[in-house]
C-alpha cells in the first residue's frame, strides 16, 4: 500500500442510523487527507437517529451530508473503490454481504446499538456517548497503523484485533 494513497473505507450496519454514521463522521475528521469514509446499511432506517445528530454536533462534526442509505450504493460502477469494509454491528457481520469490487480488507468491529437504548434521556445519551467513544478509540488505532509498511496478512490481523479488543500494540 502506498504512502500517499487516500483509502476508501465503508462502515456497515443494519440500520445505518447511529453506529455506522458515527464511524463515518469520526474517520472523515480523524483521517482527513488519508481516508474517505462512507457508511451504509443492509436495511437502512431511512434517517439518521436524532441522538446521533446531537452527539456529532456536540463533538463539532459536520452532519449536513450524513444520510441513511443502502449498501448497494457501493457496489455499482460509479461507486468508490473500497479499500476497507468494517461492520460495526453483529447483525451485519452475519448477513450475506455483497461481493465488494476490488476485494477490500474486511473486519467486524461490532459495538452495542445505542438506538436500542431505553430509559431516561440521560441514559439514552450515555449509550450513544459510549458507542461513540468505542468507535473513536478503534478509529484512532486504525488511523495510526502504518498501512504502507504492513503486508495484507499482517494488516488483516491488526484489523481483526482492533475489532476484538480495541487495543493493539503499534509496533
Structural domain count, the chain = 1
**Is position 106 within any domain?**
yes
Would residue 167 show up in a list of annotated catalytic residues for this protein?
no
Euclidean distance between CA atoms 9 and 113, whole angstroms = 20
**Is position 118 within any domain?**
yes
Q: Grid coordinates representing 58?
A: 456536540
**Is position 166 within any domain?**
no
**Is position 2 within any domain?**
no
Whether residue 22 contacts residue 55, with contact meaning beta carbons closer than 8 Å, is answered with yes
Would residue 97 show up in a list of annotated catalytic residues for this protein?
yes
pTM for this structure?
A: 0.90
| Catalytic residue (choose from 1, 61, 97, 145) | 97
Query: What residues contact 23, with CB distance under 8 A and at least 6 apart?
Result: 11, 37, 39, 86, 88, 109, 135, 139
Q: Would you mind telling me the total number of residues written for the chain in this entry?
A: 171
In this prediction, residue 165 carries a pLDDT of 66
For residue 69, what are the domain limits? Answer: 7-160
| Catalytic residue (choose from 9, 10, 12, 13) | 13
DSSP helix/strand/coil, 40? strand
Residue 87 sits in a domain of what CATH number?
Answer: 3.40.50.2300
Euclidean distance between CA atoms 139 and 57, whole angstroms = 18
| Catalytic residue (choose from 9, 82, 89, 93) | 89
Would residue 116 show up in a list of annotated catalytic residues for this protein?
no
In this prediction, residue 171 carries a pLDDT of 40
**Is position 13 within any domain?**
yes
- Residue pLDDT tens, the chain, 171 long: 455 789 999 999 989 999 999 999 999 999 999 999 999 998 899 999 999 999 999 999 999 999 999 998 998 888 999 999 999 986 555 556 677 777 899 999 999 999 999 999 999 999 999 999 999 999 999 999 999 889 999 999 999 999 986 444 444
**Is position 170 within any domain?**
no
Euclidean distance between CA atoms 146 and 43, whole angstroms = 34
**Is position 134 within any domain?**
yes
Amino acid at each position: 500500500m502506498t504512502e500517499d494513497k487516500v483509502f476508501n473505507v465503508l462502515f456497515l450496519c443494519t440500520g445505518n442510523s447511529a453506529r455506522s454514521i458515527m464511524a463515518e463522521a469520526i474517520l472523515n475528521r480523524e483521517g482527513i487527507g488519508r481516508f474517505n469514509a462512507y457508511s451504509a446499511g443492509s436495511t437502512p432506517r431511512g434517517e439518521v437517529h436524532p441522538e446521533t445528530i446531537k452527539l456529532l454536533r456536540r463533538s463539532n462534526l459536520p452532519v449536513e451530508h450524513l444520510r441513511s442509505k443502502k449498501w448497494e450504493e457501493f457496489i455499482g460502477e460509479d461507486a468508490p473503490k473500497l479499500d476497507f469494509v468494517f461492520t460495526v454491528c453483529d447483525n451485519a457481520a452475519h448477513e450475506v454481504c455483497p461481493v465488494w469490487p476490488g476485494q477490500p480488507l474486511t473486519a467486524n468491529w461490532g459495538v452495542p446499538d445505542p438506538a436500542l437504548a431505553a430509559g431516561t434521556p440521560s441514559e439514552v445519551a450515555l449509550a450513544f456517548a459510549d458507542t461513540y467513544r468505542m468507535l473513536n478509540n478503534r478509529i484512532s488505532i486504525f488511523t495510526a497503523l502504518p498501512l504502507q509498511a504492513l503486508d495484507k496478512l499482517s494488516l488483516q490481523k491488526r484489523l481483526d484485533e482492533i475489532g476484538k479488543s480495541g487495543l493493539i500494540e503499534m509496533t
